Structure 1
Amino acid sequence: MNLESPKVNVNKSPEEVFDFLTNVKNFESLMPENISKFEIISEDTFLFALKGMPEITLKRKEEVPPNKIVLGAAGGKIDFSLTGTINEIDAQTSEVQLKFNGDFNPMMAMMIKGPITKFIETLATSIPKAI
């Protein structure tokens, strides 16, 4: 299952956006209002839970400064990744898009497609306000 957030413009350079997204502590400021738990596990790993959903642990898996950061599931039964792509529009403006990629059975995919789509849209649209 592949899902994409809308592309959002951020009035910051790609380097500033990249630095913000590589600090896992900053993801707390991007979370939706229905977050019930957020916990830093290490400098590259955090855990969060949304009301009515199981806890999810994300770990920074790959970085390509200043254009790409990949977070992936850290343990658990579900394997997925969340990739942030940062493109320079000009020296002080960036375009950011989040992509979710996961391998789920059709029933699970049907159940989580809506909530995951809304979640990555919330994360993406929160980036310009949070930086």
Structure 2
Amino acid sequence: MNLESPKVSVRKSPETIFNFLSEVKNFEALMPENISKFEVLSEDTFVFALKGMPEIVLKKKEVTPPNNIVLGAAGGKIDFTLVGTIDETSPNTSEVQLSFSGDFNPMMAMMIKGPISKFIETLATNIPNAL
């Protein structure tokens, strides 16, 4: 299953956005209002939970400054990645898009498609306000 957030325009350079997203603690500022837990476990790993959902541990897996950050599931039953892509559109303006990719059985995919789509959309749309 592959999902993408809308592209969000941010009045910052790709480097500024990349540096912000590289610090896992900054993801707390991007989380939706219904977050029930957020905890940094290490410099590249954090755990979060939304009300009514199980805890998810994300780990920074790969970085390509200043355009790509890949976070992936760290343990648990579900294997997926969350990729942040940053493209410069003009000096000091960039577009950010988050992409979610995971291999799920059809029943699981049907159940989580809506909540995951809303989640990555919220993360992306919160980026301009968090910077």
Classify the TM-score, shorter chain: over 0.9
Structure 1 partner of 2:83: 83
Distance 2:44 2:128 in 1: 22
Compute the displacement of 1:102 (Å). Answer: 0.4
Structure 1 partner of 2:99: 99
Distance 2:59 2:90 in 1: 30
**1:24-56, Cα deviation, whole Å (9 max, x unpaired):** 000000000000000000000000000000000
RMSD: 0.3
Structure 2 spans left out of the alignment, 5+ residues: none
**1:83-130, Cα deviation, whole Å (9 max, x unpaired):** 000000112000000000000000000000000000000000000000
Structure 1 runs of 4+ aligned residues shifted over 4 Å read none
**1:44-90, Cα deviation, whole Å (9 max, x unpaired):** 00000000000000000000000000000000110000000000011
Using structure 2 for the length normalisation, give the TM-score. 0.99
Structure 1 partner of 2:6: 6
Distance 2:77 2:22 in 1: 25
Using structure 1 for the length normalisation, give the TM-score. 0.99
Determine helix, strand or coil for the equivalent of 2:126: helix
Distance 1:83 1:91 in 2: 23
Distance 1:9 1:45 in 2: 27
Structure 1 partner of 2:72: 72
Percent identity, please.
78
